[in-house]
Amino acid sequence: MARMSQPPVAAACYRHPDRPTYIACQRCGRPICGDCMISAAVGFQCPDCVRQGARETRQNQLPFGGLQVANSALTSIVLIALNVAVWVVIMLTGGQGSRWVQWLALSGHGYCGSLSDPSSYYPQAGAAACARLTDGTWLPGALDGAWWQVLTSGFTHVQPMHIGLNMLALWFLGPPLERILGRGRFLALYLLSLLAGSAAVLWLLPTAQSTLGASGAVFGLLGALLVLTVKTKGDLNNVLIWLGINLVATFLVPGISWQAHVGGLIGGLIASAIIMFAPRQNRTAHQVAGLAALGLAIAGLLVGRLFVS
């Protein structure tokens, strides 16, 4: 005989005992009715917790130590503008065959490209042999000295759908996180996630292949959203469903760099945990030290990859 689950039981609002409710304050857990619930970063809080939070938080200071800004979407707008500007340059200079793609995308080892046909290359020619070819031009990879690629690849796109989806995700995730974290902490989160994705690519992807796109940084923002939900004791279901769908697509859709996605996600989880779980006393100092240590660890992975190539 099938078991039937019990329906949820309504509780009385702690301020209005005559009003049943199914909503609880995300901070203290007390039941609150529609007149008492106040929208918070995740979920709802009761009036007492909102007042307590206002007393505990200094004027213009955000929950995790950042300062309020007039436009919390500005950093995301600048990042989107940089991505679009690079994409426009690539489109105007040949699209997939543009030399800008070859210089900015992340590849392990370099290769000998063709001067007359940017879409062709000489697979057997090393740097020395390429220099002797009248039609050859050596295009270095990150392990050959083009270290800028670990950063520039995160601002490089070719396909319109690729940049469109990444920028749409950045637009939805970026401003809410910047509003909670502050501009500096949000930018640190974004860039560290991007670099963590690049480190994972260099270690896990064959060095003959190349990757590009902001997906690693975007997955880092998804990781930050997950940590924020845990920190504020919010509803994890929607976040986990969204993250799960993106991870499934990462491994099932051909042509997607799962290495960049997973690396960026891990980087975002760690960076956001450093920011959000730093002790209240000397919080900024702890955050700066933790983020600097994470940056050094990622740099160590990038440099270490050079010695095992």
Q: Quick one: DSSP state of residue 115?
A: S
| 81 touches 115 (CB < 8 A) | no
DSSP code per residue over 56-114: HSPTTB-TTSPBP-S-TTHHHHHHHHHHHHHHHHHHHTTGGG-HHHHHHSEESS-EEEE
Closest by CA to 26, choosing from 280, 240, 194, 228, is 228
Reduced to 3 states, what is the DSSP secondary structure of residue 137? strand
Three-state secondary-structure class, residue 220: helix
Secondary structure element (H or E) that encloses residue 295, with its range:
helix 283-306
**Mind telling me the catalytic residues?**
215, 261
Please tell me the distance from the alpha carbon of residue 48 to that of residue 30, in angstroms, as a whole number.
Answer: 10
